[in-house]
Structure formats: C-alpha cells, structure tokens
Amino acid sequence: MTIARSIQIAAASVITLVTLLPPAEGAAPDNEYNEGLKAYAAKNYQAASEHFGKSIQNGNKSAVVWLYSGHCFVALGQIARANQTYEIVTKSFKGTEEAKSAAASMDAVRARSGGVAKSTATTSVSPISTAPGASAKGTAVPVAPGAEGLMTRIFITAPQFSHKPVSPTTINAAKEAVAALPAPLRKKLDDDAETRITISPNMIDRWPESAKDLPEDNPALTMAEMPGRIYGKDMNVYERPKFRGSTALKDARPPKFIRLQVGNMCFQILDDMMTISKDPALRKEWEADRENVPPGMVEQLATFMKEDDWGPRETCSELFGSMIGGYDENTDALFRYFTRTKKWLSAKMGLK
C-alpha cells in the first residue's frame, strides 16, 4: 500500500471519530467557528481549516476548535501539522474529552498509516514544551547571567535542506524585542512558563514533512512564505521566506522586521491575557481612525480595517511591534492614519 493511500485511510478513520464527537459545551459562538462547522459538515476541509484558524486568532480558546483544526489537517493530508495540533490539545487541555479524542486520533493515524504519522510528526522543537531544553533538538540561545523568564525561552531550530542556520543578527533582534517590552508586560510573559519564542530558518526546517503539504499553486501566501505564526503560546518566527516549488530560501528578513514580528506576537499573547483590542475605549479610537483613512489607502490597509475582531487586533499588534523598535512595510502608514489608536495603545501599554 502506498503512503498516500495509507494517509487517505487514516484520514477517513479520524473523520469517523470526529463525527461521533459533538462540539464541546461553551465553544465560542463566533462566526468563524460556526462557518468552520458548516464547511466541515460539507467536507470542505480547506475552507473549514481557514475558518477554524481565524477563530483561534480571534480569541477562541476552546479545545474543540483546535481539535477540529487537527482533523482538517488530516483530511487535507497535512499529517505533520495535524499531529502538532493534536499535541497542543493533549497537553494544553489535559483531562478533557477533546484531549482524549486528540490522542485517539493520533493513534488512529499512526495505526492506519503503518507508522507514517509518527515519523511525520517528528519536529525540530517540541511545539508546546514549557521548559528550556525539554525538546531533544531545540537549542536555547545563550543569555546573560541573571536573565530570566521569556529571555531564557528563546529557542533555535536546527537547519534542514542544507539551509543556513539562523543568524546571530536575527537572534539579537528577537532578544532586543523582548528587552524592549515595558517591565509590567514583560513580567506577565516571564511569569507564564508556557510562553516561548522559536526561531527557525523557515517553517519547513521546524516541520520538514510540511514541505510536502504546501499548496504551491495557491495565489495566497503559504505558511512557508509568512514571517511566523503562534501555536498556543509558542511564538514561531521564520527568518527567511521559501521560494515557490523549491526548498531553497530567500534572503533573511531585516532585523527590524524580526523585532516587529516578535513584538507583534508578544502583543497577541498579552491581548489574550488582558483583552486589550476588545476594550470599548480602544474600539472607539480605532473606529475614528478607520473612518479617516483616505480611499487611496484602503486597499493597502485592508488587513487593519476589517470590521470583525481581527481588524483592531491586527492594528494593535502591528503598532505595538513598531512602537518597540520594529519596522515593516506597514509601519509608516499605520503611524500616519491610526494616530488615535497609537496614542491610546501607548498609554495602555506603558510605552513612551
């Protein structure tokens, strides 16, 4: 039996498991989650995966949305990502029915695919390990004597595919972002042992098998072309984007871009802790700024003008990353057109 056929059978087995599992009580009743359920029921797993991903980004903290995401990845043949997601469920929601289902799903994939799932789930760094050195292959970056908290939980993924290792310049940029956090915010991240930063040459270096799953003919950016993504409280930063149709990587992203990316992700973790971007006072300022964006800038700033929760959250996270010393192609425009949001955020977060 071919590996592809084994994975198809494994996917069918897992889908059978989930159809017997009703959504957990208390699952966030947001539109993205509900649309994901509809797409899942219609077996449109690509659309379902996208909706569940947005639901998580919008603040849905329920175990079931992560579980459904894992099942979608299996159905799409993205076994490495599926097992990574299942592991998040089993470790972050211990003792729940969803955790039990995630564990059973991993077993089903492994059994049906003759061990394929187990091998493809191997990662360069444990996705949600909470202790320095807990992963066999992740390397903690050197820190100054007396360093503590998040600064000691910056890990580097070893290069694969003959890639260059993560550069000292990128590592220093990440450290500078953490050091630039205002003390009260830094303490919140320091005190949460689950928060960590993992820097990889590219997404495929951390999850090598994912290189086989990338939709290279999709006009949208693939995960290997994006600068990073958060899984649970693991902030993944990718130094270099990947060339389409190849495992080769492009030039490293500039240090200020990396600094912004780390700041952006730190804000999102803090936002989940402090409910910043949903604050009515912030929304009032954001709405006022949004109304004053000139028509000629609407397309460029579309990501930051979405009317759902993600619009204000993305605006705040991007602004925050820029305000602690980062910079990218959106910085100047956001500083120019979201002045009220910036002023409110600066006061709220204790930034100068």
pLDDT value of residue 168: 96
Task: List the chain residues with pLDDT less than 50.
Answer: 1-10, 13, 16-28, 114-137
Arithmetic mean of pLDDT over the chain: 83
The Cα 45–Cα 72 span in angstroms is 5
pLDDT value of residue 29: 55
The Cα 256–Cα 321 span in angstroms is 10
pLDDT value of residue 222: 81
- Lookup result for tokens 């996705």: 127
pLDDT value of residue 127: 34
Burial class (CB in 10 A: 0-12, 13-18, 19+), 300: middle
Rg (CA), the chain: 20
pLDDT value of residue 5: 45
Looking only at Cα atoms, what is the longest distance across the chain?
62
The Cα 138–Cα 302 span in angstroms is 37
The Cα 272–Cα 19 span in angstroms is 30
**pLDDT tens digits along 176-222:** 999 999 999 999 999 999 999 999 999 999 988 878 777 777 677 78
pTM exceeds 0.85: no
pLDDT value of residue 111: 60
**pLDDT tens digits along 45-90:** 899 999 998 888 787 878 888 889 989 988 887 777 788 788 788 8
pLDDT value of residue 137: 46
Structure-block tokens of residue 27: 């699952």
Domains with residue ranges and CATH for the chain? 3-120 (1.25.40.10), 139-271 (no CATH), 275-349 (no CATH)
pLDDT value of residue 133: 29
The Cα 352–Cα 275 span in angstroms is 21
Q: Estimate the crossing angle of helix 63-75 against helix 97-112, to 10 degrees.
A: 10
